[in-house]
Amino acid sequence: MTLSKAGEARNTMKLQLPEIAGMTDPVARFERHDDGVIFEIHDASSPDGRKIVHLLDEGVRNGSTRKTQRGATWWRLLTDSD
């Protein structure tokens, strides 16, 4: 993970995941814990990947899923009930 800045202000953190190189449509789930961040990566067509895609699609409908300007990256902050 690398930090990018615009002048002195942090504006982006970049994450490189070589594990996704062979995946057709990778999706990931990140969880923040006291000792760091845990993540899992799945292809969107796998059972676990479909769960992530479902939550993202649900968020598009209710407004909780955000997208980058060109839509290449989607994300949603989940609640304990998700």
Q: What tokens does 39 get?
A: 């993540």
Q: What is the DSSP letter of 15?
A: -
pLDDT of 63 reads 92
Q: pLDDT (tens digit, 9 = 90+) per residue, 9-46?
A: 888 878 888 989 999 999 999 888 899 888 999 999 99
The residue ranking higher by pLDDT, 79 or 74, is: 74
Q: What is the DSSP letter of 5?
A: E
Flag whether pLDDT at 81 surpasses 70.
no
DSSP string, 22-80: T-SSEEEEEEEETTEEEEEEEETTSHHHHHHHHHHHHHHHHT-EEE-TTSS-EEEPPPT
The share of the chain scoring above pLDDT 90, in percent, equals: 50
